[in-house]
Amino acid sequence: MLKGEQYGSRTPNERELRVIELVAKGLKNGEIAEAVGITEHVVKNYLRVIYDKLGLWNRVELALWYEARKHREETMN
């Protein structure tokens, strides 16, 4: 984590958001890797970084975060 950043306060980049979206759809790491064009090992690394950025612990929390964010964006439009 960068100096001065609060735990769970950073925003995922576009590639990470794509991985989050696929996790929320219920895809497994191997399926995500195939869809994004990366290896399963890289997917695992992405997930570790994403969990750290968002202050989450697992896929269920990540999927709930994604759905809440999606819902918030829909209500803002």
Domain ranges of the chain: 14-76
- Per-position DSSP letters for 57-75, written without gaps between them: -SHHHHHHHHHHHHHHHHH
Q: Is 40 exposed, middle or buried (0-12, 13-18, 19+ CB in 10 A)?
A: middle
**Residue 47 to residue 52: CA distance in whole angstroms:** 8
**What pLDDT sits at residue 1?**
43
Multiple choice CATH, 14-76, 3.50.50.60, 1.10.10.10, 3.30.70.20, 1.10.3720.10: 1.10.10.10
Q: Which two tokens stand for residue 54?
A: 């968002």
Which pLDDT belongs to residue 7? 52
Q: What is the pLDDT of residue 39?
A: 98
- Give the pLDDT of residue 74: 85
Q: What is the pTM of this model?
A: 0.83
From first to last of its 77 residues, what are the pLDDT tens digits of the chain? 454 455 556 899 999 999 999 999 999 999 999 999 999 999 999 999 999 999 999 999 999 999 999 888 888 87
